[in-house]
Structure 1
Amino acid sequence: MSYKMEKIVYFQNSQELSSFLVEEFRLLANKYALEKRNLYVAISGGNSPQGFFRQLAFQAQKEKFWNYVHFYWVDERCVPKDHPESNYRMAKELLLKHIPLPESNVHPIFGDALSLPSEILRYTKEIKSHVPLRESIPLFDWIFLGMGSDGHTASIFPGQESIIESSETCTISEHPHKPQKRITLTLKTINNARRISFLVLGKEKERIIQEIFQRSQGHWNGCYSLDRNESVQKSLYSI
C-alpha cells in the first residue's frame, strides 16, 4: 500500500514554517467564524509545534475568531497537567494563556487520571459530544501531527498493531523504550479528519520522510497507515 500525501513543503527554518501555518490557520479560522461554525482542532506535543504555538499566540492574539475554535489533544503522557512533559502544559504556556480562548473551548486529556480506561471513556464522550461525526467517527477539521525519528506519530509507535487496528476513538499506548503510558487518538480517528498536517523538524528526519514516500523498507511506521481516506487533505511541512 503506497503512501499518498497531497504535498510536501520544505522551509528554510522553523520561523518560516510557523509563519506559513499561522497564516493558513488564520484564514481557515476566520472563514469558519464568518460562517458561525466551530473549528475543531487536535494538536500535538513535542518540539515540532512549539514555534507554531508561539507565533500563533503573537500574531493572532487579537483575532475575533477564538470563540469558534476548539482545541483537543492528539495524545498526552500520563502525567499531571503541570508536569514538564505534559503536552497540555506546553500548549498552555506557549499558546493558550496568551489568547482570548474561552475555557470551555479547551478539551485536555487528563493524563493523571486514576483510571486510564475511565479516562478513555470520558475523553471519547468529550469528543463525540462536541465534534461532528462522519459515519460515527469524529470529524476533526484539522489535526496537527509531529513525527519521531522512527516514523511514529501521535503516540502510535512501530509494532503497536492493536492501536493501528483499533476501532475506538482513543486508546492507551506505551512508549516502547521506557515504562510511560500515554493516551492517544487512534488512526481511525486521525484518518477521518478533514485536514492533517505533519510538522517535521530536523535534517536527521529526512531519511524517514523518504522511507515514508518510497516505502523502501518493509517495517511498519505509524504514518504509513494514514492513506486510507482519500478525502483527507494531507500535507507534510519540513525544514
Structure 2
Amino acid sequence: MTSDRRVLVHASTEELAASVAARFITKTVDILDDLGSATIVLTGGRVGTAVLAAVNASPARDSIDWSRVSFWWGDERWLPRDDDERNEKQARDALLDHIAVPPENVHPFPATNDGIELDAAASRYEAELAAHGDESGMPRFDITFLGVGPDGHIASLFPHRSGISIDDCAVIPVRNSPKPPPERLSLTRPALNASERIWLVLAGADKASALGLALAGASRDEVPVAGIKGRKRTVFFVDAEAAAEVPEGLIAPSY
C-alpha cells in the first residue's frame, strides 16, 4: 500500500492547532461511520496538547461518539501518574477529562508509581497492545499524532540511538534520553508505521532544519522522523516558521 506525504502550512501556531483539530473531528466521524470504531495514538508537547485543547473547545467536539474511540500513546515520560510532565496528564487535562470516553478505552503507559520497573512497564504495554490487536499483535491505529523535536526525534526515538532501528518489538524502555527526563517508554518505528495515518504536528523555526532534512531523504538514524510513514497517508501539519526549509514542490495547497 502506498502512502502519500503532504506538507500543510499554516500562518501561526494557533491557526495550526485549530485546523488540525477541525480535521481530526471530521476524519474521526468519517472513520466511525466507515469502521464503527476509531483508535487514536496521542503525543505530548506544546503543539500536540494545543491540538487536543482545540478539539475540546470546538463546537463540533461532540459530533464524535467518544464511546467508540480508543486512545493510546506513542511515548511517555517515566514519571508518577499525576506528574504534569506526563503526556497522559497533559492529554487528560486538555481533552480526555472533558469528553464521554469510557475509562477502559484509554490506554496510558505505566507510571513510576505503578509498582513495576521500566523494563516490565515496556513489556506490560506491549502485552496490552497485543490484547487489543490482530494477528500482527497491534491494534488498528487510525490516526497517530506525533511531534518532532529540533533534532528530528519522534516519540522517544532519538538520533544516533539504537531505538530507531529496533524492529523486533512494539515497545521499548528508553534510558539516558538526551532530553529530560532520562527514562521513558516508546513505541518503536514499526509500531508507529503500522498506523493508517500519521499526522506530524510541529511549529517553530527550531524545527525547520529537521523537517527539511527528513523530506530531503535524510537517514532515519540521523533524523528519525525521516523513517516515519503511515500506511495510507503521512501529513506534516506545520506553521510557516517550521516550513522554512521545505521544498516548494512538497507543500500541498489543500488536504
State TM-score, norm by structure 2: 0.83
Residue type matched to 1:188 in 2? Answer: P
Structure 1 distance, partners of 2:47, 2:153, is: 13
Alignment of 1:36-185 (within 5 A): 37-59=36-58, 60-112=60-112, 113=114, 114-133=116-135, 135-174=136-175, 175-176=177-178, 180-185=182-187
Structure 1 distance, partners of 2:227, 2:183, is: 22
Superposed CA deviations along residues 140-199 of structure 1, whole A, max 9, x for unmatched, are 111100000000010000011244223101111131255611000000100111000111
1:19 Cα deviation after fit = 2.2
Change (3 A) 1:100 1:164: same
**Counterpart secondary structure, 1:97:** helix
Change (3 A) 1:64 1:166: closer
Superposed CA deviations along residues 66-86 of structure 1, whole A, max 9, x for unmatched, are 011101010001001111211
Superposed CA deviations along residues 23-71 of structure 1, whole A, max 9, x for unmatched, are 2222222223334622111111111212211111121443341011101
Given that 1:40 and 1:131 are in contact with CA atoms closer than 8 Å, whether structure 2 keeps it comes out as no
Structure 2 distance, partners of 1:129, 1:217, is: 33
Residue type matched to 2:213 in 1? Answer: E
Given that 1:61 and 1:98 are in contact with CA atoms closer than 8 Å, whether structure 2 keeps it comes out as no
Structure 1 distance, partners of 2:96, 2:218, is: 40
Given that 1:73 and 1:107 are in contact with CA atoms closer than 8 Å, whether structure 2 keeps it comes out as yes
Structure 2 distance, partners of 1:33, 1:127, is: 21
Residue type matched to 1:86 in 2? Answer: R
Gaps of 5+ in 2: 240-255
> Which residue is equivalent to 1:29?
28
Residue type matched to 1:28 in 2? Answer: K
Gaps of 5+ in 1: none
Change (3 A) 1:62 1:5: closer
**Counterpart secondary structure, 1:107:** coil
State whether structure 2 residue 204 is matched by structure 1 residue 202: yes
Structure 1 distance, partners of 2:95, 2:118, is: 27
Structure 1 distance, partners of 2:132, 2:37, is: 9
Structure 1 distance, partners of 2:89, 2:225, is: 25
1:22 Cα deviation after fit = 1.9
Residue type matched to 2:14 in 1? Answer: Q
Structure 1 distance, partners of 2:51, 2:44, is: 11
1:226 Cα deviation after fit = 1.8
Structure 2 distance, partners of 1:179, 1:96, is: 24
Change (3 A) 1:181 1:208: same
State TM-score, norm by structure 1: 0.88
Structure 1 distance, partners of 2:220, 2:97, is: 44
Residue type matched to 1:120 in 2? Answer: A
